[in-house]
């Protein structure tokens, strides 16, 4: 049972447009959510996070939105740049109920930004 799901394996957008990556979760104990970016032959790198007490967090071109009632979060990239082409992983943890720090990841979405 996949607790964190990214139902779109891939997404292609034009440079300068908005990229929207989606993520759904099933475990109501999750209270902290993160997005990671991964280039080929490299490890994932942290991009942006959001706590369940918020519904939006913004960092430059990247904004994460959280809809707790729908158990859904999304990552918006505006404007998209060719260098954003990578695999994006959504991740979740239950920080308030567990001190293990472990993250549960989704399957990933491959974003291609065309020049």
CA distance 76 to 48: 11
Residues 60-99 that bind another protein (CB under 8 A): 89, 91, 93, 95, 99
Give least dist CB 46 to another protein, A. Answer: 5
6 binds another protein (CB under 8 A): yes
Cβ proximity to another protein: between 4 and 111 the closer is 4
Under the rule (CB under 8 A), what is the footprint of another protein? 4, 6, 9, 32, 34, 36, 41-46, 49, 89, 91, 93, 95, 99-108
């Amino acid at each position: 049972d996949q607790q964190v799901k990214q139902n779109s394996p891939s997404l292609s957008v034009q440079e300068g447009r908005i990229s929207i990556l989606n993520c759904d979760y099933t475990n109501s104990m999750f209270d902290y959510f993160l997005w990671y970016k991964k280039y080929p032959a490299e490890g994932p790198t942290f991009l942006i996070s959001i706590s369940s007490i918020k519904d939006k967090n913004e960092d430059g071109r990247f904004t994460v939105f959280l809809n707790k009632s729908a158990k859904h979060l999304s990552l918006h990239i505006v404007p998209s740049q060719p260098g954003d082409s990578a695999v994006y992983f959504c991740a979740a943890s239950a920080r308030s109920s567990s001190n293990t720090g472990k993250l549960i990841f989704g399957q990933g979405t491959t974003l291609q930004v065309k020049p």
